A and B are shown apart, each in its own frame.
Chain A
């Protein structure tokens, strides 16, 4: 048997046969290593997690068209490609226009945006009701809602006056005459009636042609053949109402109603499709799905989806995009630099970025100091326990010395034992420490932690060094003692 095998045999015997003592030492190192691995993991992960929380403060970068340029969805998408996907929390495009609510003689700033992104970039938006999901649904700021008395579920008509905002007096000139509407509706016997109307500059009907060939000639068919019926429509604005605007043909009420319905449907479809005559004021009816509460100026705005606003105005144009990016200030500056160009200018929202840097800095310093203090205390705790466990063996050390062991070989044996315990406890601690950090992360941030492979060898190494170092002190004292004194009876 070699000396090395005997060495291993003695060490394993000590570990296995002095089970309760070794368990105590192992437990102690394991706890120390757990706290070490856990705290260090938390320390490294906290800024990342907290930064994600800080995103609740909203956008920290704005993208705007550069001087003399315009911004649209395509350019924005191209710019966003320059950002790493995992850093971008959200990007909300905004187009601001003023829309009129003619019935109340009010005018509101209306923002066209992407609600799915808004939820990400402005998590502090509080909506009574719900965010719009279907087309022609809007969100109304609390102040507006209070002023005009709309509630969740009410409808409101908003009108886009393309020219009104350009310059005074030019509005009328922009309205192009000759726009054509055509539509159809079910007439008598579920047969279709087709209508085509030409509008004049004031959106009034200038010409009309009715195709009622599917209807009974002596009744409904007269809608097509009797000029007096068609004449009623000329000079009237859509939508029309039976009885009030139009008198039905006698004996052909169903057909008459179908003509009116076809015209009204054509107008509604036209408004919705946005294919209407450009330069015409366009009115669309919207359903209010939610009232927005923010405590800020957004409460004075109406919000609709970008698509709805494009349909209404016929323009794909953006004024600004709000970006929420998870990154530190230096990184944000780098991103801003990368994004600027191609007609886009990127600016940081200082209020958010500066404050985030300040607050995160404090938090990280807090966790750092706590980690350092906890680690020092834990390591001392581990050492004292190891010292107690080793001190117990002073007599054994004396005996070994009496049997001719040199101080070095005694040190070697105890260090071997200590380092083995350190290895075992360190492995245990690295795993438990990850669990510890995971528990904290899941409970606090509802997110799991990133496993750092490097931490495993570091934890094991530190545990071994600490276990070995804390063995050394009592051994040093023990070997300094004369074996005779230890071996003498009590």
Chain B
């Protein structure tokens, strides 16, 4: 059953067609990578899926609900309730500690719970660094905090934009291992990347070129 379905969506900025009649679908529990060179429409698609932007044309069905016509306020609610976001630049609140950054996500979602937040940090291996400020954490550690923050509210969908773009190989592997773990637990994952290695970790790769789906590749070496 499809968790997310994009039906013939287009995003047009003046003359430029960032997305041109694209249709994709992602099943519940599936791990999909979206690949493509710069300017292929990756980011636009990511913003639309993340409820941070609306398509010019077409429908976006999330959990069967068309979200493409919803007002901004409702989109915020859906993003908060169903989606966990991970960014290339990590984006942490600089003056809050690791655990507090996780709790901010809980705070906007429902109730802050420090124990639960610490547990989430434990899952990404940062239990001991919980009281550190972002400036005291390495890039890899910051990104792991962001993963913990994304999964704290048990979202149906985790959307990651170049999650390993600023990381070295060791940290990249740690993050990918976390993704595998999430996948095994049944979380739906969409990872936008231009790194073939990261894409290969997913079950399926959708390649975008010039705003269109160029091809879809099923990763046969995928290990459950």
Direct touching of A and B (C-beta under 8 Å): yes
Q: How far is the CB of B156 from chain A (nearest CB, A)?
A: 14
Task: Answer yes or no: A365 CB below 8 A from chain B CBs.
Answer: no
Contact B108 A400 (CB under 8 A): yes
User: What separation, in Å, do the CA atoms of A466 and B149 have in the docked complex?
Assistant: 35
Q: How far is the CA of A113 from the CA of B224 in the complex (A)?
A: 114
Tell me whether A401 and B76 are in contact in the complex, defined as CB-CB below 8 angstroms, given that A3-B107, A396-B93 are known contacts: yes
**A residues 1-59 in Cβ contact with B at 8 Å:** 1-3, 5-7, 9-10, 13-14, 17-18
Taking CB atoms, residues of chain B closer than 8 Å to A9 are 100
Tell me which of B19-27, B81-89, B137-145, B213-221 binds A. Answer: B81-89
Q: Contact: A399 with B76, CB < 8 Å?
A: no
Could you list which residues of chain A lie within 8 angstroms of chain B, going by C-beta atoms? 1-3, 5-7, 9-10, 13-14, 17-18, 395-396, 399-407, 409, 482-484, 487-489
Which of A2, A399, A407, A482 makes the CB contact (< 8 A) with B91? Answer: A399
Instruction: Say which residue of B109, B112, B113 sits within 8 Å of A404 (CB atoms).
Output: B109
Chain A, Cβ-Cβ closest to B83: A404
With a cutoff of 8 Å between Cβ atoms, the chain B residues found around residue A489 in the complex are 88-89
A404 touching B105 in the complex, CB below 8 Å, given contacts A482-B53, A489-B89: yes
| Residues on the A chain within 8 Å of B4, using CB | none
A404 to B52, CA, bound (A): 10
Query: 20 A-B contacts, Cβ less than 8 Å apart?
Result: A1-B103, A1-B111, A1-B113, A2-B111, A6-B106, A10-B104, A13-B96, A14-B95, A399-B92, A400-B108, A402-B52, A402-B79, A402-B87, A403-B105, A403-B149, A405-B108, A482-B52, A483-B52, A484-B50, A484-B52
Q: How far is the CB of A9 from chain B (nearest CB, A)?
A: 7
In the complex, which residue of chain A has the Cβ closest to the Cβ of B116?
Answer: A1
Contact, CB under 8 Å: A3 / B112 = yes
Query: Which residues from chain B contact A10 at a C-beta distance below 8 Å?
Result: 96, 100, 104, 107
B173 at the interface (CB under 8 A from A): no
The binding surface of chain A is classed by DSSP as: helix
Contacts of A17 in B (CB 8 A): 94-96, 133
Which residues from A are CB-within-8-Å of B79? 402, 404
CB distance from B17 to the nearest CB of A (A): 18
Given contacts A1-B103, A405-B108, 16 further A-B contacts (CB under 8 A): A3-B107, A6-B107, A399-B93, A402-B50, A402-B79, A404-B76, A404-B77, A404-B81, A404-B105, A404-B109, A406-B108, A407-B73, A483-B52, A487-B52, A487-B87, A487-B89
Q: How far, in whole Å, are A399 and B107 apart by their CA atoms in the complex?
A: 14
Give the residue among B80, B81, B105, B108 with the most A Cβ atoms within 10 A: B108
B70 to chain A, nearest CB (A): 14
- B135 — nearest CB in chain A belongs to which residue? A17
Q: Is the CB of B53 within 8 A of A404?
A: no
A18 to B100, CA, bound (A): 15
Quote the shortest CB–CB distance from A421 to chain B (angstroms).
15
How far apart are the CA atoms of A341 and B103 in the complex, in Å? Answer: 81
Among candidates A6, A405, A487, residue contacting B112 with C-beta atoms closer than 8 Å: A6
B43 contacts chain A at the CB level, 8 A cutoff: yes
> Does B114 count as interface, using CB distance less than 8 angstroms?
yes
Closest-by-CB residue of B relative to A396 is B93
Interface residues of B in 41-85 (CB under 8 A from A): 43, 47, 50, 52-53, 73, 76-77, 79-81, 85
Question: Which of chain A's residues has its CB closest to B44's CB?
Answer: A484
A201 → B minimal CB distance (Å): 107
